[in-house]
Every structure is written in structure tokens, then in C-alpha cells.
Structure 1
Amino acid sequence: MWQDVKLLNMVANTLFAVLLLLLLASGVWWVVQRPMFTLKVIQIESAEQQELRHVNALTIRDGALPRIKGNFFTTNLDAVRGAFEAVPWVRKASVQREWPNKLIVTLEEHTALGTWGEQGRLLSVKGDVFTANLAEAEEDADLVEFDGPDGSEKEVLARYADLKAWFSKISLAPESLQYSNRYAWSLKLNNGMRVELGREQTSTTLKERVDRLLTVYPQLVASLQESIESVDMRYPNGLALKSSHSNLGLKGKRKPSVAMQDNTL
């Protein structure tokens, strides 16, 4: 081996290259650890070019900053993004570096549309379920009550938009919407009337049932002369309703029916 000049040169060159790489790595590590690269500024921006309503310096200081590790070079941007997305009201965060010691974090906030279920959670206008201060959400708008199986949030939101448009024709709007585990729909309108719509047999089932109610609703209100508590639209050719005797001063309830059948959905 010692007489093989080519092999000796190869070994020497390899050792020299390894030494050079080690020196280079050590130099880079030394530079990276310089104080000038310690993160000094984290700039928060709104993704929607408007002032953030619920995310503030206090929530960021308490919820995100303690989870940020490293400096300009070594901090993990995915970890930083996750830290900010764990802050209440933050829907999405994006992070980028700015030389030499700054991070720019762009935040998108949730906009609450209503509550979801009975666990104090909120449903956003984009169909995301999140947890935040309910009182803050109530300051922004009147919250609709939503409920449904896990994973049905976007379907419920889409149905709410449909129902809101349909009932606007009689100047009413849903204030609660439930989608049961048996895939049946029911809602409460802002006049206090509950409407049972049942399951969707076809893509037009709910629309047909709502249209049928809208057609007879003015006549029902005019003829009953009393508030309608609930309407059951699960009958193919009619409906069933319950109304109060408030105008008669009675405590009881009666339940007149129209074309009732025993094949409710």
C-alpha cells in the first residue's frame, strides 16, 4: 500500500477534503450563531388587508412566542406557522424570513357565523369548526345555532345558505339548523317557527318541501290568526302544523293537520 503513490494521493486528497468540509461547516456554524441573527422582530400582517379583530399582541405573546425556537437561520418555519395557528381566532398563518433578524407572519382570522353543537365551539363562514371566546363572537354578529355529525360542517353551511335564500322570499331567516345522525334536516326561523324537513331523497327534496311551505304560509298565517310553533313538511302531499292558542288565552295546544300520512322520513 505504502508503495502505491496513486492510492496514497487519493487518501490524502480525501482526508484534505473532509478536513476542509469540517472547517467550512464550523465556520458556517460560527457565523449562524452570531447575535446579529437572533430574532428581534416578528411583524404581524393581515392576509385580508384589514385590521385583525381578535388577534392582538397579548394573545400572540402568550400563545405563539413561547413556542418559537432558534434564530433567523435555525428556526423552523413550519413550527412557527403551527404556533400561530394554535392561537385562538387564527385560521391560517404563513411565515417568511426577512434579513437579517426578522420574521413576517401573515394571519387570516376566522369569521364566526354561529355555534356548533353543545361544546361551545364556533362555525366559521368558511365551514371551519374552531374554539374561541364565545362572548367575542357574539359582539360581532347574532350567531346561528348549528349542529350535525362530525365532518358535516361544510354540508351544513351549504344547506344554510340555500335555506336562507329560500326563506328570504317571505322575509324570514334560519336562526338554527340541525342535521341529525339520521341525515334529517330541521330548522328554526327567526319568527320562532320550527320546520321539519326530513331526509333528502333526491337533490331537490328540500327545495320542493320549502317551496310547498312558502306557497301556503301566507294563507296559514291569515287563517289561524295565531303563531305557528312548528310545521312538519315530511309528508309527500301536505304538511302538519302545531300552533298556540295565545289569542284565546289558553295554555293548551292543538295540532291541525293537512293531508297527513304515516310515511314520514
Structure 2
Amino acid sequence: MWSNVRQLNLAASALSAAALLAMLGAGGYWLAQRPMFNIRQILVEGETMHVNEPTVRATMIGQLRGNFFTVDLDGARKLFESMPWIRRASVRRVWPDALAVTLEEYRPLATWGDDDQLVSVDGELFTANQAEADEDLPTFYGPPGSEQIVAARYRDFRKWFAPMGAEPDEVVLSPRYAWSVRLSNGTQVELGRERGPSTLDDRSQRLVKAWPQAVQRWGKDIEYADLRYTNGIAIRSASLRFINDPKAAKK
């Protein structure tokens, strides 16, 4: 090899290239660590109603690790998605010292249970301050993991009870998977368990069809309707209970 000039030249060139690459790498590493590349800005994009840019910046700027070159974008995404109301985030670098984050919020459909949790329009459970919701929301109850089932049934109940001029204020799915609904007119409706695909629909329509006659007979203050019978309905009126209850009559 030592007598082969061509091979010597190739070896020398390879060593020179390796040395140059090492110098460039060291220089690049040194440059990447300069303070000018520290993350100083967070640019917030997307339509948000429950979080604002100053809050996002103040919350996240101190939690991000690394600079423009070394910051973990996936880790940053998870940090943003850990904020209340944030459903999804996407993060990208903006030269030379910024991150741009596009935020998508949960859209609340209802509150869930007695905790500070909500259900989104997609049937997803999330934690946020319920007082920050922009409207009065119905309340859902159900076994763990039943959020999407309850959300879907809520939409059905809204459609089925609309002819009565009422909509669900509360939807409950019991641990035995029996359904009950409290309507905006104050009526508590017991629907029971689903025996088939049309069970709840059929029972709801039974009440809707009987409602005009029930109101004509007992007034609008019907507080309870039990639809778990095969063909009939059990109805309780607040006014009749007041008249028939001696203790209530004395009040």
C-alpha cells in the first residue's frame, strides 16, 4: 500500500474528509447551543374559546426543554395536549427561536357525573372547569366507558321528545344499563333497559302520543312517567300528589 501512490492519495483524502466532517459537526454543535436559538416565542394558531395565547405562553414556555434544534416536538405536543380544553395539538419549529402550535379544543356536549368532567360532541371524556362552559349543559351519568353510548342516546332523546316541546336536561344509564331521562319541563321519564333496537324509540313515542291527553287531564306539572310497561304508561302529577297527600296539603 505504501508504494501505491493512488491508494495513499485516496487514504489521505478520506482522512481529510473525516477531519473536515468532524470539524463541521463540532462547529454545528457549538452553533446550535448558542443562546440565540433558545425558544423565546410560542405562536398560537387555531380557533380557541377557552384558552388564550398569553395563558398558553405563560404556561408552556418554562416547561419546554431544548432549543430550536433540540426541542422534542412530540414531547411538546403532549405538553400542549395536557392543558385543559385542548383535544389535539400540532407543533412545528419557526426559525430561529419560536414554536408554532395549532390547537383544537374539545367542544362540550354535557357534564359527566358529579366530578369536574365533561363529554365532548365526539363522546370523549375530558377534564376542565365546568364553569368555563359557555352554555348550560345537560348532565350525563353512566358506567365507566359508556360516554359515547350516552352521548348517542342523548341525541336520540332530543329528537324523540322534541314534539313535546322538551329536551333532556339529564340522561342516566344505570349500572344495569337501564335508561332514565329528566326533561326540561320537569318530567322524570323511566325507560328501562333496551330489549331490542327499537325499544327506547317505541317507548318514547308512546309517551309523545299520550302527552296531549295527559296534559289535558292532569295539567302540565306531570313529574313522572314510567314507560317500562308492555303497553301502558304510569304517570304521576305533582298537583294530584299535592291534593292526595294530607301532609302536603297542610303546608
Answer whether TM exceeds 0.5 for this pair. yes
Matched, 1:75 2:77: no
Match of 2:93 in 1: 97
Matched, 1:144 2:116: no
* Alignment CA distance shift 1:106-1:226 (3 Å): closer
Asked if the contact 1:226/1:244 (under 8 Å) is kept, the reply is no
* Alignment CA distance shift 1:89-1:238 (3 Å): same
Matched, 1:238 2:232: yes
Q: How does 1:1-265 map to 2 (within 5 A)?
A: 19-46=19-46, 51-137=47-133, 140-225=134-219, 227-245=221-239, 249-251=243-245
Distance 1:65 1:209 in 2: 55
Distance 1:33 1:136 in 2: 41
Asked if the contact 1:226/1:247 (under 8 Å) is kept, the reply is no
* Alignment CA distance shift 1:19-1:168 (3 Å): same
Asked if the contact 2:38/2:97 (under 8 Å) is kept, the reply is yes
* Alignment CA distance shift 1:154-1:3 (3 Å): same
Under a length normalisation based on structure 2, what TM-score does the superposition of the two structures give? 0.86
| Number of equivalenced pairs | 247
Asked if the contact 1:147/1:177 (under 8 Å) is kept, the reply is yes
Which runs of 4 or more aligned residues in structure 1 lie more than 4 Å from their structure 2 counterparts after TM superposition?
Answer: 1-21, 246-250
Distance 1:63 1:32 in 2: 25
Under a length normalisation based on structure 1, what TM-score does the superposition of the two structures give? 0.82
| Aligned sequence identity (%) | 47
**How far does residue 162 in structure 1 lie from its aligned partner after superposition?**
1.0
Structure 1 residue runs of 5 or longer lacking an equivalent are 254-265
Structure 2 residue runs of 5 or longer lacking an equivalent are none
Distance 1:249 1:63 in 2: 59
